[in-house]
Each structure stands twice: as C-alpha cells, then as structure tokens.
Amino acid sequence: MKVVLLHGADASEPPEDPVLGQIEDTLRGLGHETTRVPVAGDVQAVFQSLVAAAPAIVFNLAESFDGKSALESNVAALLNLIGLRYTGSSPAGLLMAGDKSLTKQVLSFQKILTPQFASVFRGALDHVGDLTFPLIVKPPQEDASLGITSKSVVRDIKELFGTMDSLQREFQSPILVEEFVEGREYYVGVLGNVNPQALPVIELDFSAFPADRPKVASYEAKWGDGGTGGEGETGAEFAGTKSIFPTDLDPALGKRMQEVAVSAFNALRLRDYGRVDLRVTPDERIYVIEVNPNCYLEQTGEFARAAAESGLAHGQLVARILELAQARYSR
C-alpha cells in the first residue's frame, strides 16, 4: 500500500535524521510504496502533497510545524480534516501531552503522581501548589530539553526569579515551575491501544555526571551541545549520561513504574506508542515528569532499544506501529 512518511522540515536537512531512512527501508521491505512529505512553512504545499500522494496511511513523524513544536497537534488535525489515516496520537493526545502544565493537571485528576507545580499563563499565575525548593523552571511547551540547562534548577527565591526572567525574555511563553525530584530517572515505552503494554524500563544513568551540577537531562546532556547553559567544560554533561537497562532494579518497583507509565499513557489518551519519563525518589515514589506521544523511533534511541529488549527488532517495531494504527481504523 501507499504510505506517506510525514516529517519535520529539519529532519531532511543534512545531516538527515537517520530515522527517516530506517523507517522507509522497513516499509519498503514490507512491500509498501513510500513517499516523503516534509511539513514545511507553506501549508498549501503540504496539503497538496498529501492529497496528491493519496496514501492508505501516513506514518506521522512530524514533531513540529515550521519548526514550532507547539503546532505539533495541528499537523495531526490537518490529517483528520483531510480524512487521512495516520500512526500515533490524535490532536487531543498531542495537545495535552505537548503542554506540560496541562499534562500535570490531567495526571493529578487521575491520581497519578507528578511533581508539585506552579504555572504562569499569559503573564498571570495559573496555579500554585505547595512548593519546596529546589525547583526546576521550564517552558511548558518546548521539547527536547530546549530551555533546560543546569541553571533551570533553582535553590532559592533569587535564583528562581533570575531564571524565570531569562526564560520570559527568551521564549515569551508560559512558565512551569516544578519541584525538583532528586532521584533516579527512567524512561518507560508503551505500545498498544486496547491493552497497551509497557516495554522494559530504561534508566538514564547519571553516575558519571559532573558532581557540581544538578542531575538534569539538559540540552547539553541530551545532544552534546553547550547551547545556552554550557559554561565550563562543554560536553561534560553529555559524556556523563548514558541510557542503560538497570541491573539493580527491584522487579516490583520496575513493575510499578510500568503500571504508572501505562496509566499516564491512557490518561492522556495516547495512541499506538509513546514514552513516559519518570523520576523515582529513594523512598520509591514514582513521579511522572513528562509524557511523549509519537516518541523518537530512531534505532539507537531509548524507545527502539527498549522494544528490541522485549524482542521486537526495529523493523518489527515499525511494522507493529503501522498495524496498531490500521487496527484502530478498522474497529
């Protein structure tokens, strides 16, 4: 059948995101005909390419529109309006999970633990919880750790106001202030719809992280680029984190994390696949930090590695996501 690979405009710029070729190879190997459609600046062009391709289904890898991640849900909404079938979450899921403040409100209602928070929306205080320092300050609609540096973690009022001020200047967006959860960080993939299954737990191991910095997966730690926060030894945070399958994890705790991940996936009405980011305190309280619908599918990324660990090789994972999406439309 005909499959369109819908992707962000930046994914095809050199160096091209390897995930495009990987998924394309798999789909072709399965006998499908594939066309790439970038979601670039001109919505008319995107619309026309989609209509002209007339795919049986769209593999939706677009995490932004015109580089704006806040518009991610609108891309899925466009597919709905055109009447195309597509993989991954609906606009509702993308919108809720794409806004960290909204995510936390939904999770709290469902009694899923998430750090206490305060949020500022349109310059006004939207919610203020019972917060204790240290806190972490972030732009609630950015992704991939944009806007998160070691300076995002604040220990007193003075630091809090300083960080909020620079965030306002840079992003002019709402602000989310959260209790900083000291503890280990885990990622749990979830796959499925009717009875979503959690994948094996991956840990972001901070043991080699610079001791003088707060343990956060900052932009530098994730992408190895100093960005705005990397003063001092650039690259030290990047070199200090690696994702591993933890060997010392209590199986009962691992199982609870998987249950929390599936609950969060369901609470936010995600579809097909997603990844839930957790922080766990030494006394084993499991906090949901973030929920990522349509998470990154690159072969060496956390989600694909967790799937492989559960027995689904990359090609099988891609095929499974396509099947899950198709099954939704035939129900």
Ligand X SMILES: Nc1ncnc2c1ncn2[C@@H]1O[C@H](COP(=O)(O)OP(=O)(O)O)[C@@H](O)[C@H]1O
Q: Of 30-38, 53-61, 70-78, 141-149, which part binds ligand X (CB under 6 A)?
A: 141-149
Within 183-212, the residues that bind ligand X by CB under 6 A are 185
Q: How far is the CB of 57 from ligand X (least distance, A)?
A: 27
The residue from 145, 163, 258, 294 that contacts ligand X (CB under 6 A) is 145
Task: Name the residue nearer to ligand X (CB basis): 34 or 263.
Answer: 263
Interface stretch with ligand X, choices 41-49, 137-145, 154-162, 321-329 (CB under 6 A): 137-145
Near ligand X by CB under 6 A: residue from 65, 86, 180, 209: 180
Q: Would you count residue 203 as binding Mg ion (CB under 5 A)?
A: no
CA–CA gap between residue 68 and residue 222 (Å, rounded): 19
User: Residues 275, 279, 305, 314: which binds ligand X (CB under 6 A)?
Assistant: 279
Q: Taking CB within 5 to 8 Å according to partner kind, which of Mg ion, ligand X, none is near residue 63?
A: none
- The 10 Å CB-count burial string (b at 16+, else e) for 228-250 is ebbeeeeebbbebbebeebeebe
In the structure encoding, which two tokens stand for residue 223, read together?
A: 């992408």
User: Is there binding between residue 63 and Mg ion (CB under 5 A)?
Assistant: no
Counting residues that bind ligand X (by CB under 6 A) gives 19
Structure-token pair, residue 251: 């199986």
- Shortest reach from residue 5's CB to ligand X, in Å: 23
Considering only 148, 191, 202, 286, the residue that binds ligand X (CB under 6 A) is 148
Percentage helix, strand, coil for the chain under 3-state DSSP, each rounded to 5: 40, 25, 40
Residues with Cβ < 8 Å from 91, sequence gap 6 or more? 73, 74, 76, 77, 80
310: left (phi over 0), alpha (psi -120 to 50) or beta: alpha
| 84, two tokens | 């195309």
As a whole number of angstroms, the distance between CA 190 and CA 261 comes to 7
* Member of 217, 286, 291, 321 binding ligand X (CB under 6 A): 217
Q: Are 252 and 273 in contact (CB under 8 A)?
A: no
Residue 96 binds ligand X, judged by CB under 6 A = no
Residue 140 three-state SS = coil
216 binds ligand X (CB under 6 A): yes
Applying CB under 5 A, among 277, 280, 318, 322 the residue interacting with Mg ion is 277
Residue 294's alpha-carbon distances to 62, 120, 264, 270, 329, in angstroms, are 9, 27, 14, 9, 18
Give the integer Cα–Cα distance in Å for 181 and 104: 15
Nearer to ligand X, 24 or 142 (CB): 142
User: Which one of Mg ion, ligand X, none is in contact with 143 (Cβ closer than 5 to 8 A by kind)?
Assistant: ligand X
Tell me the closest approach of the beta carbon of residue 201 to Mg ion, in angstroms: 15
Nearer to Mg ion, 218 or 258 (CB): 218
Per CB under 5 A, 290 contacts Mg ion: yes
**Would you say 23 and 52 are in contact if contact means Cβ atoms under 8 Å apart?**
no
Q: Which partner from the list ligand X, Mg ion, none does 249 bind, CB cut-off 5 to 8 Å by kind?
A: none
Using the rule CB under 6 A, is 115 a contact of ligand X? yes
Rounded-to-integer distance, Cα 261 and Cα 186, Å = 10
Q: Which two tokens stand for residue 83?
A: 């009447």
Binding site for Mg ion (CB under 5 A): 277, 290
Residues within the interface to ligand X (CB under 6 A): 100, 115, 136, 138, 143-145, 148, 178-181, 185, 216-217, 277, 279, 289-290
